[in-house]
Amino acid sequence: MEVEIATIGGYEEVGRQCTAVRAGDDVVIFDMGLNLSKVLIHDNVETEQMHSLDLIDMGAIPDDRVMSEIEGDVQAIVPTHGHLDHIGAISKLAHRYDAPIVSAPFTIELVKQQIQGESKFEVDNDLIKMDAGETMQIGDDTELEFVNITHSIIDAINPVLHTPEGAVVYGLDKRMDHTPVIGDPIDMDRFREISREEGVLAYIEDCTNAAKKGRTPSERVAREHLRDVMMSLEDYDGGIVATTFSSHIARVKSLVEFAEEIGREPVLLGRSMEKYSGTAERLGFVDFPDDLGMYGHRKSVDRTFKRIMKEGKENYLPIVTGHQGEPRAMLTRMGRGETPYDIEDGDKVIFSARVIPEPTNEGQRYQSEQLLRMQGAHIYDDIHVSGHLSQEGHYQMLEALQPENIVPAHQNLENLAKYVDLCESEGYNLGDDIHLSRNGNVIQLTE
């Protein structure tokens, strides 16, 4: 059976991930992501209103025109998890395909919300929830399986397309976490089993951290670090504010729990805080306290801040958006004095996140910190662990899967190259079984 991989997007950048795998007549598309930085660099761009081709020209969404070269029918669109660089283009591209969107329940819910927010296109693909461990028939001889993995968002999976030629494992995005704070550990046993029983024809890998030595720590390590910080503030009787990735439910959960341990009422503030945590709670992924407040709309946020100011900042832990210093996020607005919450001398601001290392982010984050400091805030930062495999995780995946072919993804060429070096140290060879691809290429694996 012919098996080929079209590397549609995310092979020259981080963002707008999209990969199609054809096995015989059947095609599965993994991820349809958005490169948000390509949007934000322009002023006043409203993606909801924009046409796909314009977004493609901007480099914001995958250029899926290569799909016309792929002979076969798309049977499923499979986002791996709910981050924008994996689902953000669905509302712009999915309607072109007569195929359901299949993903884990939390991801499906986020996709649904995204489609509802879309103004330009009518997206009415079926939405099918499938859990890790489950499978779905794709063609006569091909089957889609979800393997449980661990990432910085809940309910992330690695889809595997089982073909008569072997399994194609789509490995984006994960870290190897044996003690996640929410959900099950990564299912390394299943990866080993697939390799042993069926063989892995190709492995598409997330190269984000391929240059980082050692092992990405478990979420449990970040949790202990966070606990240490928050316990040290047990006696502080002023304001404490925390920020993290809104979609990082495990981290939000830790913040909520430690807030209570030090006698403060946690409250989630900001549109995306409400969205992700609300969704996670509704779907039963996390068991927040019954009375946990989550407010996204400006008015209810302001009302909450006023209540906090009245009842005493020492009784609350606002958990807010703005960990990257985004100019319009809650924490930045707090720094600018645009909310009713007064930051006073000695108040603590906890960044349970790391700055994404790019000068624009670094500049914005710096400005946000400056504004907070000008009001007297003390900053705790970098209380975080990455969601992506470092080198030793990559080695362990290669050992578990023993893939015949490797397709590095999720980086620009320089960083893909670092993963190539790693693979070569394990006996693979560039141009032979390592396929260094570019957006829009097709890799023929079997004939």
Residues lying near a copy of itself in the complex (CB under 8 A) are found at: 41-43, 176, 178-179, 213-215, 217-218, 220-221, 224-225, 228-229, 231-232, 336, 346, 348, 358-367, 370-371, 374, 378-383, 391-392, 395-396, 412-418, 420-421, 424, 429-431, 436-438, 441
Identity of the residue, 13 or 109, whose beta carbon is nearer to a copy of itself in the bound complex: 13
Alpha helix positions (H), 18-87: 36-40, 52-57, 84-87
Contacts of 397 by beta carbon, 8 Å cutoff, 6+ apart:
171, 176, 191, 203, 205, 389
Identity of the residue, 284 or 359, whose beta carbon is nearer to a copy of itself in the bound complex: 359
Question: Shortest distance, CB of residue 320 to a copy of itself, whole angstroms?
Answer: 18
SS3 207: coil
Question: Shortest distance, CB of residue 127 to a copy of itself, whole angstroms?
Answer: 35
At CA 218, angle to CA 215 and CA 221, rounded to 5?
110
Ramachandran angles phi, psi of 241, nearest 5°: -130, 140
Question: Shortest distance, CB of residue 360 to a copy of itself, whole angstroms?
Answer: 5
Strands 200-206 and 405-409: parallel
Beta bridge partners of 166: 163
Question: Shortest distance, CB of residue 12 to a copy of itself, whole angstroms?
Answer: 8
Identity of the residue, 271 or 418, whose beta carbon is nearer to a copy of itself in the bound complex: 418
As a whole number of Å, the CA-based R_g of the chain is 22
SS3 44: coil
Question: Shortest distance, CB of residue 47 to a copy of itself, whole angstroms?
Answer: 17
Inter-residue contact 117 to 159 (CB < 8 Å)? no
Give the Å distances, CA to CA, from 395 to 43, 230, 443: 42, 35, 23
Question: Shortest distance, CB of residue 136 to a copy of itself, whole angstroms?
Answer: 31
Identity of the residue, 138 or 188, whose beta carbon is nearer to a copy of itself in the bound complex: 188
Inter-residue contact 143 to 162 (CB < 8 Å)? yes
What whole-number distance in Å separates Cα of residue 125 and Cα of residue 102?
10
**Cβ-based neighbour number of residue 78 at 10 Å:** 30
Identity of the residue, 103 or 243, whose beta carbon is nearer to a copy of itself in the bound complex: 243
Identity of the residue, 30 or 380, whose beta carbon is nearer to a copy of itself in the bound complex: 380
Identity of the residue, 243 or 391, whose beta carbon is nearer to a copy of itself in the bound complex: 391
Question: Shortest distance, CB of residue 121 to a copy of itself, whole angstroms?
Answer: 25
Q: Length of the chain, please?
A: 447
Question: Shortest distance, CB of residue 217 to a copy of itself, whole angstroms?
Answer: 5
Alpha helix positions (H), 167-266: 188-197, 219-231, 249-261
Identity of the residue, 209 or 364, whose beta carbon is nearer to a copy of itself in the bound complex: 364
